[in-house]
Structure 1
Amino acid sequence: MRSQAPQSIRSSNPFSSDDDISDDEEKQQDYIQTTKPYEEHFEKFSQQFNNYIQKTKDLDQKYQIPLGDTPFNILHLNVNQQVQKQGLFDVNQTDNPFYDKVSATFTYLDTEIGKITEVFESKILNVISMYGERALDDFQDEEEFPLLDGQAEFEISKLSPIFKQSLDLIKKIMGILHNLINQLNIIYYKKNDLHKNIFKNVELNSVFQTIGKGLSVVYVLDCAINQNKKIRDHWNVYKRMIKIIQTEPSKFGSDPKTVKRFEKNIARLDKTVLSGACVQAVLEQNYDANKSFTSDQLKQQNLCLLAKNKDLIELFENYFKQQVVFYNDILDTTSEVQERKDLLYFLCTYAFFRKVFPEEQDKKIYKSLWTLQKKSPVLEGHTHIFCYVYKFLRYVCPLSKSTTLDPKEPEQFTKLYVQDLDIQIPKKINTFYEDFCYWISRMESILTSNTALATGDKSKRDRSIKIVEEYTSYRVRLLIKALQMASQIKQMITTNLMLHINEGIGFTPQLIKYVVKGIVMLKAIESVYISKIEAFQPHMLLKTLVKQLLLILGATYEKLTKADYKQKKPLYNEFRAAIQNVIKNLRGPITSLKISTMEFALNFIISNYITEKKEGQDIKFIFWKIKTVSQFQYNISKATNCSFLFWCKDILPLAIKQFFENPSQSKRLIYLSQAISDTLPIVKATLHLQNPLYMYETFKEEVITTFKDEYLTPLTRQIEDFLRIQIHAMLIDKVVGKNPFKDEMNNIKKLLELEQIQFFDVIIDIKKEIQNQLNEKFYNLNVLNMHDMETYEQMRVLAKFYFDVNLINVYIPSQTIEQGQLDILQILRNIPTFVDTYTYNLHNQTFTQITTESKLVQTIGIQQISDSIRTHGLGILNTTVNSIFKYVAKKIEILSNLLYDELILQNLIREEKWFQENKMQIDGYYPYERAKKLSSTLKRLGVSKEGNTYLDQFRIFITQIGNALGFIRLLRSASLNYCSKSIEFLPYQIDSEDSFLELAKQAMSGQATTKAAKELDDILLQLKSYFSSGTDYLKRIVSTMSKYAQSESQNHFTNFHILVPCLTLNYVTHALICKDKIPIKNNVNAFLCNDGFIIGIAYILKLYNLEEKFHLIHWQEEVRKVYKEELESIKEISQADTTQISTHRLQQMQLENGLSIKKLESNLYEYNMFFNTFQACKILFREDPV
């Protein structure tokens, strides 16, 4: 057994040797033997884990969504987001308590700044950046189309928590900065023992960067506020609203104390976060903790005023000089990664120095910083927020005295920089593409595969280890190269795009071409890394880097220990503690907290006091590689993140069109879709809209629509044209077919190679979309010309042969269900639109569309609804009736509120009172002239935005109610039609008491037959019940609504009958106008018949028991009598003696009388139609059966 365990271990280790086993290995074998139970459990777990991985891969292969060549990463590990279980003091444990305390202090402050920065970048800045953005369908210019009342206040109020959170974080930053600068003031005071013994030999440059990092987020916040004009505008409106509330707090459900406290908070936000000058306010604070001490107290405690600390000033100035040299050397080189981001930190550190030490104005340093904008005039703050170097230096930390600066006019220089960048971008992108191709070929080489580590020389262990180190070092170089390329490409693209937007310079197609090429390279770098992530695991690569750094640090530590021993006093105590700290933290997982701790320790280690310059540079470079590799997945995702595309979405149509015009590059469109999907976190950060996800949904729809318009639809058109030409070439001699072996055919095939593409959470299958479009088009065209069926069949075969596109057979059978243009479900979903745009005919039960600009008018009748019921089943009847009942009830309520208006109600009460008082004198006939006078009175009460009077609104609402009731009647007639057709072939025994179920039981039939018989009985019973005339939905609606109508809240309807004459006059006038439009060209809003209004009048009179009251005013007889008298009077005038009248005047009188008679007869005809139809409508609501 002892010989088997070592053999299994050796077989699994490619670097072990079968010939040479040392004593240590023998001891290890003994140890393995004694821990055999643990090994067995491990083997079981290993086997289970491998089985799980294999099953996962099998499932992935079986069910994966093919998205071109882009890999699909199942297990995604983000090193930067791993849970840190170690505390701050766990990573700061050496044999020097003083160093541990100092290191823990500065590390804690640095990590707090990092957390605050993360909150700003991941949440606050996204929300502020998105404020004011509108979805595509409700986009409007607020200057031309102002927002609705209260909308601006509502939207800006939703950002109040964000503003408050920003203010709290800024206060926290101020506290950290106060702590940092006072800590530095103490340790860098020459009379302090700490400075004499330790810190005079140490430059804490990492602390300066922490200061700049904290201030940079405040400045970026200022830029975000200043660049978003809508925030300031809406905030001013919001403040005015608060002042209005302050005058009458109780009216808004508040009290003066609460409003006053709220106003104070608003004022605080207005002076800080919303001022757009937070960074100046932060810098103007008093950061000197010793300012309150007297000179004697300062001497006693060995303290110094911050502004007079010359040693600290010298430290800052040395740091600035070093960094200026560094940025001049690194910017615009192939080694640049995130130095432009760090440059913003550096500028903020300089601004902090200038405010803390106001008397220190070194013009050389200022000029050096000013000159840096020649290489980078703008610095990325966050996505589309870019900070101008000259604006920062000019407004945040200007010199008190003017001096000569280069460039003199930075605004003009920036425009020239953009023009020069436009010229250089093709060359630079092509250079990057060459580097990218070389890099990707190296990534695909054997040196980056897992099998490469198993090809080492097994003869000697040292040789094997050396091979592993060479491989890992090579992979580290590839990762760093990827990060450098991605950072430089993104920096160039974003700088170019944002400068064009900010400076108001348009995009040229040539520029967009190279910008898209750069974006494709960014996402390709990320995809290649993900596909090779197994060979680039950070923990594996870090081992070699850690080993290199430990070798140097070990030698340095040993040298310091010997020096202390020789001097017999601890000169290098803190320096050795720093090395101990780094060595300890390197032996374990590299986390963000450990990196922050080790960065502070490096300030001691790379000091010229203990290391040579070259040695310090080597340590710093190796540690930078360790930091980069440990956070590589986070860094590469950030470097390849293309969320800035949301602010450049105008280029998306041209970008997608570019791939369509270059079929050989169509597969690269996948990378553009991934870049567009990077905007997801920003789009979902929209808070000001009522529905936060509305922006995301509309933007996603906009992107998909753009893709279809610029890629799918043109591709479908190309395929259709190709198929048509090929078919017509066989039928028509003069038409020359296209050569399937030429470029056009190949281009279509290359465009179809992009099988699927994903935008956000939507996956588009290219061929399926093309099939759907062609199927729809071929079907619609075949409907118009059914004799072309064979042609389309041939095109379908060619589509399958050439492009593997499966189209359906477009053969249309001659007998189909005709539902018309409107289906019952479509009407049900749009009841308000239907009753408003269609008119009802009572006698033939049809709905006719009111004329529009279209040349066609749609109609729907019993047959169409019957066929629709046949499609959906009888179960849809109750659902439809219930929906219409709710609609009618809602309209009745609106009508009730309109009638309850005091102006209308008082006129009706006065008119009813007059009629009752004068009933005997007028023989119970309500005068026609009184009706006209009342109509004129109601017309003068006001006009709506659409130009409708109160009577027009009554007519419209009543017509909508009547049309809805007419549709219920049509629905019942259609259901009876459907049922009659369904049972016309049933035998007459259907009405007998025998059932198929009883017959099946008597025949001793099987279970399946018995079940079928029962279901047949149920179907026949249902048909009989629906066919019976007992279901009258109109009467049900009357009975259901009668309880509501007879309630005390509806007493104002008691005088509605006196309003009917006015409504009749309004209806007849409107009907004649619409009928006169019919012969006219472009006759919009014309109709022949509108019985819906009459049904609505009859329904309301029946519902409120006003039929008898309306009958007693004898309105029908009064109208006929008035028109009869007018006709007779005109005829008498025509028959009078005309001998004294001239011939011309006589002809004119005859013409006028003829027109008057024609007009009166047409009016009387319309009134007769109304009254006859009204009598017919009353039958519909009669309680006794007819």
Structure 2
Amino acid sequence: MKQSSLSMFAEDTLKNFGTFLKEHDGKLNSLRKQMPVSDSSTVPTSLAPVVEITTNTEDYLALAPGMHVHMEAELFSNKLQATLAHLCNQCKDLAKYACQFQLKFLLTDAHIKDVMTGCSVNIANEFTLFKMSCAIDFFCQVYILLKHIVNLLEHMLHQITASMAISEGSSSHVFSVFDSMIELLEHLVIFNEITEQSSFATNWLLYKKWLQKLAKDPNVSSTNCTELELKGLQQAIDDIEVVISGNVYPMLLNKLLELKKRLNLKDFNSITQHSNTYIRQKMLDIETNQSNEYRNYEEPKHVVRLTALVSVLYELGIQIDGKLSKNITELLSKYQRLALYMNVIWSPSIFLSKHSKTFAKLPDKFPDNSKQYHTIVEKLNSCDQRSCRQLCTQIALWTINVQGVINAGVFDQLKHFSKLIVAGQKYADEVNCLIGGLINRHVALMIPITQATTSIVCKLVQLLKIIQHTFASNQFCFIRFLSAIIQWQRHKILQLLSDAKKRLVDAKLLQRKMNILSMLKLAEKLLRSQHINKNLMMINLIFNEFIEKERAISTDTQKSFKTIVARVNYLSNFQRNITAQFDNTRLLYIYWSLAISRKSDVVEKQRNAYALQNIFAATNQLDKTTNIFEVCDKNSSKSTVYDMVMESLCTNLELFLRVEALSHLFLSQELPFNQTTIDYRNCISVSPTEMHGEYSILKDSLENYFSATFYNLTTIAPHDWKSYEKMRHFAFKLFQLQPVDDYLPNQIIDQGIDVLQIMRNIHTFASTYSYNMNLQLFVENNDKNKYLDIIGTRHVANSVQTHGTGIINTTVNFIYQFLRQKFYTFSTFLHDEHIKSRLLKEFRFYNEQKNIKQHQSYPYDRAESFIKKIRKLGVSNNGDSYMDLFRKVITHVGNAVGYVRLLQSGSKNANYRSRAYMSRYANNFTNHSTQPLHKTTEESIKQFEKSVGHMKECHSESTNYFKLLMQAFQPFFSNKNNYHLKNFFLITPSLIMNYIDHRVKEKLNIYKKDQPNCSLFEDGFAVGLVYILFMLNQVGEFHELAWHYTVTQQLNSERQKVREIFTAAHNTADATNASVHAKDNEDEKLMQTVAITERHIKAYESEYNHLYASLSSAEIFFQ
């Protein structure tokens, strides 16, 4: 039949099937409308079938008894094909289980190695023994699987050898059996290598000795185990040792030697020619398939399968041509480091020399091309980048075409739709090959994976997830129309088969071609059966044998057979191929570097943020894989990509919001457009992703984080609530994030620094703030910002209203602790021998002058001399003398006492504000005995009255905290052991002189730029000095010094000297009445000096007057 008539027949059949499906869809829609409405209208995101229907072959055949009889007869006449097909199907199933066991074995071994690297030797050994004990059942399963594989391989070789010996088989049978065999041989080689290179192999002897010691222990063996159980355990250990010690492949070779003994040499000679042909074909595939020199490093399965097959055939005694063996040796010697799985390295030459020693002579030294690796790998990486870009374009166009065909209707474009399905799987294969090639190439050549390579892998993973999402979101359409396409292709094959049968009957070759006709009838029935997936292998064997034996069929018909059968195979295994193509287990090797790279690209470098959901999907699949195989530690410190992106976004966004909220405190930027601002909105708007079995929304996670952060920070620092409210506002304005309001009792806008914050940092506050006694406020000395903080009575009252009056007593207690430390420093300074000796000398001088003449002031020269002598003792790194440091201690004490006064004033202010809510009339409520009350109520009223009375005592307006602080420290100062403190009043003139010099210098520095720690006032010194004098009962002695009178006399004498100099210069100018230019210059310099000196005297006089006014005012506080 011509191709056109065949197509017309298939199209008519397909149209009839399409009409049937439309009618069926109409009935389903009518039934759906009658059903209750449900909310489960979500788009599926998984390729797993929604409903899995399993049928029983026996039940199906029982429906047609006549067909069952004919099928049995034809299967009996073609029992060789049925047997080989069944064995090949078993190979596929065992290969699937072998991949899962390999992955679990490798992940368990990698987990043990990670734990052993960070622990001591004893802990690592204990953990390894524990893990090996837990994995005993898994090891037994591996042994059973491998034993099953070995038996199956032996049986397949036996079958194919026997069939070829009696001339019932064909070369197509040999090639099909070898195709299935080499897949299992590959898994055997991989198992042999991963077990031999694992940590289980190194610790097996230790574990075995431990078990033997445990079995010999009478306490353990008698109570927990019987003799039969111990024997069973010993047998299991012996079986597991075969797996752990890497003797899996030798076990296969031993089985083949037993098979060789059972068969004759002629039996093996029957497949010798076919074996050599198959080996040549595989070598040709290896050489022609590689797109670059290192293609087999990237995909080593072809080399592994060829090596294992050659070893098996050689051990069976099948003769391999000498030239062919030489070519095999040369080919395998090129590859010395092949990455089988993750970091498992394998060498085919070493493998052959170990298991087939006499096969061929291998070279002693292999060529070392490590120097060329880096340059060649760089070229390959550039090619991979080009391929990645091309795939991006092709996959984007493919996705658009698929969606367009589905929207337009598939039945009208079924041929185009089938091509799109094949193209999608082709793209998935290309992406998988690129990913595996990149990883295996770097592992095999021992080249570190760079950041650029990891970015390429991430991009390829995104493309793979795009294809998967396209298939998953349209899986109903794919499954529905895929069956129509398969039926279309099956009708084509059936038409070709009917045409072939007619030719056989017309040519009157029925007697000679009875077997072929029987095979064709069996193929027709298998194609019409429901279980076409299970029968594909047998159909392939029948068609291959038919095409091989039937020479009368034209070449075009043979090509049509092969093409259509291959297409049916491809489409029938669609679900299985898709599952394998979207498996990302090979990424486990670079999982951690993949997570770091993607986090860096998306968050820090602001690459394509919309690709995050694809990376999340890939890593979620890897996490599921580790959880399924129970090798993931719940307490592991490693995070997922989602956790890393979330942590990085939280940190960067919080920093960004802080900068925005505090931007008014920064200096203006000269070039604001040169500073790049990172836009995080694309990262935040990522669609929901599945993580650990739950859907996670990145935006909601960020909102929860900021809600908790703002709440906690506002709770810790309620004075800074305005900043966090600004950050919450900017989070909504810039990123559309809506953190929940904290609903805390926030402070008012004019709150100032909170009392609790000052209380915790009283030592810093006393040294960085200056006190103004008249204005009742503290001003910050220096700050990096544009503004200085001010604390007044109003701010303290606001804090008291926020936290309650209970904070006052607590704050006073903190200040008491601070004053204890300062007084210890004060006492240590006066107790020093240098200071104490000089004060004793001054005390003797003071007594002598007092005996000579009463009410004599302290000399100015002695105070000035005392300062100079103290300065000779040394200075600090900042240039401060011991007198400067002592003055600072007294200032800190005065600031602390001044803060107590500010607290008292603020508390009174807060009480005055609260009084507005009280009644105007002070009514006294009494308990009327006439009104009956319960005893519990009366007790509650008494306790309430007691609490109110206690609060009244603690927080009454008459409470004087100055007296409390004086009463607390007076026992210390009046102690007889502190005799050195009695001469303190004699150092006050020097202290005052030092303070005045310091104040004059600071006020001069105010007019200069970039001078830190400048203040307009510092009344803390006056308060601290008076406070200490009152506690030492030395106020009278201080007044007897009459230091104010001494300073006034000194300033008047200096002012008189200035006037005399000015008068003398003026008189001299009038007497000479000459205007010499040189003399005028000298007079001008003299007048400038006199003016500067006059201003200096006025500044000192002003500071002295201000200080004595402050001292007089401070004395009132402590009277």
Q: Which TM-score band (shorter chain)?
A: 0.5 to 0.7
Displacement of 1:251 in angstroms is: 4.7
* Structure-1 separation of matches of 2:931 and 2:196: 86
In the other structure, the counterpart of 1:440 is 396
Q: Which amino acid aligns with 1:235?
A: W
User: Structure 1 residues 497, 290: closer, same or farther in 2, change over 3 A?
Assistant: closer
Aligned counterpart in structure 2 of residue 409 of structure 1, from 341, 363, 366: 366
Find the residue that maps to 1:758 and give its secondary structure. Answer: strand
- Check conservation: 2:91, 2:180, Cα contact below 8 A: yes
The one-letter amino acid paired with 1:623 is V
Q: Which letter maps to 1:357? A: G
1:657 is matched with which residue: 600, 616, 624?
Answer: 600
SS in structure 1 opposite 2:49?
A: coil
2:544 alignment counterpart: 603
1:146 Cα offset (Å): 2.9
* Larger Rg belongs to: 2
Partner of 2:154: 178
Which has the higher relative contact order, 1 or 2, with Cα contacts under 8 A spaced 6 or more apart? 1
- Counterpart of 2:221, as a letter, is F
Q: Does the CA-based 8 Å contact 1:307-1:357 persist in structure 2?
A: no
Q: Identify if the C-alpha distance between structure 1 residues 394 and 484 changes in structure 2 by more than 3 Å, giving closer, same or farther.
A: farther
Q: Report whether the alignment pairs 1:118 with 2:96.
A: yes
Distance 1:562 1:170, change over 3 A: farther
Distance in 2 between residues matched to 1:344 and 1:78, nearest whole Å: 38
Sort the Cα spacing of 1:218 and 1:245 in 2 relative to 1 into closer, same or farther, 3 A.
same
Residue in 1 that maps onto 2:279: 320
Point out where structure 2 has 5 or more consecutive residues left out of the alignment: 1-10, 62-67, 749-753, 758-802, 804-924, 945-1119
The residue type paired with residue 359 of structure 2 is S
For 1:239, the equivalent position in structure 2 comes to: 208
The one of 82, 86, 92 aligned to 1:108: 86
- State how far apart, in whole Å, the 2-side matches of 1:987 and 1:109 are: 104
Q: Distance in 2 between matches of 1:51 and 1:307?
A: 72
CA–CA distance in 2 between the matches of 1:990 and 1:490? Answer: 93
The CA deviation at 1:493 is 2.1
Q: TM-score w.r.t. structure 2 length?
A: 0.58
Tell me the C-alpha RMSD between the 2 structures. 4.9
Q: Secondary structure at the match of 1:113?
A: helix
Structure 1: gaps spanning 5 or more residues: 1-14, 33-37, 62-70, 293-303, 455-466, 687-691, 822-866, 868-985, 997-1016, 1028-1186
Q: What secondary structure sits across from 1:93 in the alignment?
A: helix
Change (3 A) 1:696 1:757: farther
Matched, 1:797 2:729: yes
**1:178 to 1:738, Cα distance in 2 relative to 1, 3 A:** same
Distance 2:22 2:703 in 1: 58
Structure 2 contact 343–443 (Cα < 8 Å) conserved: no
Determine if contact 1:222/1:277 at 8 Å carries over to the other structure: yes
Change (3 A) 1:714 1:45: closer
Q: Determine the C-alpha separation between the residues in 2 that align with 1:585 and 1:530.
A: 30
TM-superposition CA deviations, 1:470-512 (whole Å, max 9, x none): x333233322232233223223323432453466532211221
1-structure distance, mates of 2:930, 2:264: 110
Q: 1:240 to 1:141 in 2, by over 3 A?
A: same
Q: Does 1:622 align with 2:564?
A: yes
The residue correspondences of 1:1083-1122 to structure 2 (distance < 5 A) are none
Task: Report the secondary structure of 1:663's partner residue.
Answer: coil
Cα distance in 2 for partners of 1:41, 1:776 equals: 55
> Partners of 1:430 and 1:560 in 2: how far apart?
53
Which residue of structure 2 lines up, in the alignment, with residue 357 of structure 1?
Answer: 317
1:420 to 366, 372, 376: 376
Alignment-mate amino acid for residue 686 of structure 2:
L
Residue matched to 1:915? none
Q: Structure 1 residues 442, 751: CA separation in 2 closer, same or farther (over 3 Å shift)?
A: same
Supply the AA of the counterpart residue of 1:486: A
TM-fit CA distance, 1:559: 2.6
The Cα of 1:776 is off from its aligned counterpart by 4.5
Aligned to 2:135: 159
Please name the residue that 2:518 is paired with: 577
Counterpart for residue 209 of structure 1:
179
Shift of 1:636: 2.0
Distance 1:323 1:487 in 2: 20
* Cα offset, 1:539, TM superposition: 0.9
Q: Which residue of 2 aligns with 1:676?
A: 619
For 1:85, the aligned partner's letter is N
- 1:19-30 residue pairs with structure 2 within 5 A? none
Maintained 8 Å contact 2:190/2:340: no
Give the aligned residue type for 1:233: T
The alpha-carbon deviation at position 276 of structure 1 amounts to 0.8
Q: CA deviation at 1:527?
A: 1.2
Q: Across the two proteins, how many residue pairs are aligned to each other?
A: 746
2:489 match? 545
C-alpha separation in 2, matches of 1:225 and 1:424: 32
- For residues 88 and 323 of structure 1, what CA distance do their matches in structure 2 show? 42
- Contact 2:373 2:445 (C-alpha < 8 Å) held by counterparts: no
The match for 2:104 is: 127
Match of 1:227 among 197, 221, 226: 197
Task: Name the amino acid aligned to 2:87.
Answer: L
Distance across 2 between alignment mates of 1:162 and 1:1022: 72
Structure 2 equivalent of residue 977 of structure 1: none
Q: Distance in 2 between matches of 1:558 and 1:535?
A: 38
| Cα-to-partner distance string for 1:435-465 (whole Å, 9 max, x where unaligned) | 34223323323775334337xxxxxxxxxxx
Residues 39 and 551 of structure 1: CA distance in aligned 2, closer, same or farther (over 3 Å): closer
Distance 1:737 1:813 in 2: 41
Structure 1 residues 40 and 771, CA gap change in structure 2 (3 angstroms): closer
Cα distance in 1 between the residues matched to 2:938 and 2:587 = 63
Question: Any idea what SS the aligned residue of 1:199 has?
Answer: coil
**Residue in structure 1 matched with residue 429 of structure 2 by the alignment:** 487
Name 2:646's counterpart in structure 1.
712
Residue type matched to 2:569 in 1? K
Matches within 5 A, 1:815-964: none
Counterpart-to-counterpart distance in 1, 2:461 and 2:329: 31
Residues 692-771 of structure 1 aligned to structure 2 (within 5 Å): 692=630, 695=632, 697-698=634-635, 702-704=638-640, 707-709=642-644, 711-730=645-664, 734=668, 744=677, 747-771=679-703
Change in 2 beyond 3 A, CA 1:561/1:139: same
Alignment of 1:244-283 (within 5 A): 244-249=213-218, 251-253=220-222, 254=225, 259-260=230-231, 262-270=233-241, 272-283=242-253
Q: Residue 521 of structure 1: which of 448, 463, 483 is its match?
A: 463
The Cα shift of 1:672 comes to 1.1
The Cα of 1:225 is off from its aligned counterpart by: 0.6
Moved more, 600-609 or 785-794: 785-794
CA distance in structure 1 between the aligned counterparts of 2:732 and 2:301, rounded to whole angstroms: 54
Asked if the contact 1:110/1:596 (under 8 Å) is kept, the reply is: yes
The match for 1:73 is 45
The 8 Å contact of residues 288 and 306 in structure 1, kept in 2 or not, is answered as no
Question: What's the TM-score once normalised by structure 1's chain length?
Answer: 0.55
Deviation per CA, 1:536-565: give whole Å up to 9, x if none: 3221232333234334333333333334x2
Q: Kindly, what percent of the aligned residue pairs are identical? A: 15
Tell me which amino acid in the other structure corresponds to 1:243: Q
Could you say which residue in structure 2 is the equivalent of 1:646?
Answer: 588
How far apart are residue 665 of structure 1 and its match? 0.8
User: 1:641, 1:675 within 8 Å by CA — same for their partners in 2?
Assistant: no
Q: Is the 8 A contact 1:546 1:586 kept in 2?
A: yes
Distance change >3 Å, CA 433–CA 623, structure 1 → 2:
farther
3-state DSSP of counterpart to 2:696:
strand
1:826-865 Cα offsets, whole Å, 9 max, x none, are xxxxxxxxxxxxxxxxxxxxxxxxxxxxxxxxxxxxxxxx
> Could you list the per-position Cα deviations for residues 248-294 of structure 1 after superposition, in whole angstroms to 9, with x for gaps in the alignment?
44553346665455334423432x212213112212324665845xx
Alignment-derived partner of residue 971 in structure 2: none
Distance in 1 separating the partners of 2:929 and 2:179 = 94
CA, structure 1 residues 286+713, in 2 after alignment: closer, same or farther (shift >3 Å)? closer
Amino acid at match of 1:104: A
Which amino acid is 1:744 matched to? T
Deviations 1:513-535, CA, capped at 9 Å, x for gaps: 11211121122221122223344
Task: Tell me if structure 2 keeps the 8 A contact 1:379–1:388.
Answer: no
The aligned residue for residue 528 of structure 2 is: 587
Relative to 1, partners in 2 of residues 1:41 and 1:266: Cα closer, same or farther, differing over 3 Å? Answer: closer
